[in-house]
Amino acid sequence: MTQTDFNHLLSQIKALPPEQARQLRQQLDRQLAAPAKPLAKAKPPARTPKRAKAASTAKPPPRTEEEFQRHLLSIGLLTALPDPALDIDDDDPEDQPIAIEGEPLSETIIRERR
């Protein structure tokens, strides 16, 4: 692709409505996240050393909460990222503590677990 074609593509992307831009983003994220397809199947070695086997089963590094949510968005399990500003409900009357009689509930729980 020439630089001119690329610049033309970018200008078309900027003109997309938000919903189409989101769909394009999801498609690009899926395409980039997918492993590259091998051109030809390689014949597996007759005997794999134990060290090579252990290295291939290593887990990927843990993701942050934001990375995980972006991953869910890219694979289509989320339609939008959560807005933390909407999670604040400090003035919700249903969140008020309930008064109980007797010993504190934490002490009751500890005693019952023993």
What does the pLDDT read at residue 110?
Answer: 93
Task: Determine the Cα–Cα distance for residues 92 and 96; give it in Å rounded to an integer.
Answer: 8
Q: How far is CA 29 from CA 39, 69, 107, in A?
A: 22, 13, 50
What does the pLDDT read at residue 107?
Answer: 92
**Contact in structure between 69 and 78 (CB atoms under 8 Å):** yes
What does the pLDDT read at residue 83?
Answer: 79
Task: Determine the Cα–Cα distance for residues 73 and 33; give it in Å rounded to an integer.
Answer: 12
Residues belonging to the chain: 114
What does the pLDDT read at residue 53?
Answer: 57
Q: Which amino acid makes up residue 103?
A: E
What does the pLDDT read at residue 86?
Answer: 74
Determine the 3-state secondary structure of 102 from DSSP. coil
DSSP state of 29: H
Low-confidence ranges of the chain (pLDDT < 50): none
What does the pLDDT read at residue 112?
Answer: 93
Scored b (16 or more CB within 10 A) or e, 78-89 reads eeeeeeeeeeee
pTM: 0.30
What does the pLDDT read at residue 49?
Answer: 60
